[in-house]
Amino acid sequence: MQQYHIRGLKQRGLPMFRKHWWIAGVSAGVGMLGLAATSGIVALATFFVGELTAPHQTFKEDELQGILADAWAVPDPEPEPPPALQRPLLFPTTDGVMLRGDFWAQPHPAPTVIICHGYRVGRAQLRPVAAIEYNHGCNVLFFDFRGHGESAGEMTSGGVAEVRDLEAAITLASQQPETSAGQLIVHGFSMGAAIALLALPHPAVSAVIADSPYARLDDILRRLVHWRLTTESNRWQPAWQRLRSVFPGIAWATVAASAVLFRLRFRQDLFARPDVGLRRWLARDHAAHHAHATPILLIHAAGDQMIPIAHAHHIAAVAARQHIPIETYFPDEHSHCGAYGYDPAAYIRVLQDFVARHVGITFARQRRAA
């Protein structure tokens, strides 16, 4: 009787045992899939951080085609100052990174423009921009951010770390004997424009010209990861291309993991937020005893494919709420940093009007002796 009872319990318990085993198997399978997915995201983030921060890299002509198409179309070369008025610069940041740059001096005291280049674009590529501003009567200081061009640096962060570089350049520019007091202007492009908004206001800076900045870097990084995934998936079989629907989620997770890895590796934040920095401008201006907030000229191509015009609209809205004087110029152009190429004469006129009203200088082309 006892033996029969035990056998009956075993028979009745077998279906329940099988059910529990099936649940355990499914749970284990889901766990393995989750682990594999997490490992994949971490691997992708590791690769992305390494690629993003690698120093002294430049864009290849065919790289990022479609996002950076026609971007960085610099002006035609203009005459540069004679060698006697060009000075090479080597200067340190507060965290010990040595930067290289150039100072083009007018033969008399004049306003000074600091030119800030973009990501993977060094100062050498912006010499035509420097020549235009020099030929309009300004001294020009242009330099390589850390990890770019001839400057030192083991990494580039796309914004946060480079704030120290611009601060060092501002200090150096204000110390040049040719720089007129109270007439220092920062003119940044793309990443350089975002850094200008992050670093300022500064007591030595009279105005900021921000051409095509981002409002928040995390959004740009997610767009970049999504674009890379989409580009790579073009080689897949059509059946696998259905996975593109999950690319936004993968991009979000990859960038989030990248921020953690960047923090662990470099001990600083990855996500630069000029929009948040603007909210602190007035407090810093008052602390520096400024009578007025530093004025901003915000320039952005309306059809920018790399940094959407929505970033510029957001920056302008935040500045307006903080009562920061801001003017905008949004030409109907599609390329990144393409406002000058769209209409060079209009670009110069916008700059002339802005600096005349806010800095009190005449930004006019100078006549030079033959």
Q: In 33-145, at which residue ranges do the beta strands (DSSP E only) sit?
A: 86-92, 98-104, 110-116, 139-143
Whether 297 shows a pLDDT value over 70: the answer reads yes
Q: What is the pLDDT of residues 121-168, one digit of tens each?
A: 899 999 999 999 999 999 999 999 999 999 999 899 999 999 999 999
C-alpha dist (Å) from residue 143 to 68, 166, 238: 23, 9, 47
User: In the predicted model, what is the mean pLDDT of the chain?
Assistant: 84
**C-beta neighbour count of 114 within 10 angstroms:** 26
For residue 324 the two structure tokens come to 């920061």
Residues of each domain in the chain carrying CATH 3.40.50.1820? 83-216+272-358
**pLDDT on residue 93:** 97
Residues 238-249: pLDDT tens digits? Answer: 877 788 888 899
- Residue 248 tokens read as 């936004």
pTM of the complete model beyond 0.75:
yes
Answer whether 157's CB lies under 8 Å from 270's CB.
yes
Domain 83-216+272-358: CATH superfamily is Alpha/Beta hydrolase fold, catalytic domain (3.40.50.1820)
Give 148-207 as a DSSP string.
Answer: STT---S---SSTTTHHHHHHHHHHHHHSTTEEEEEEEEEEETHHHHHHHHH---TT--E
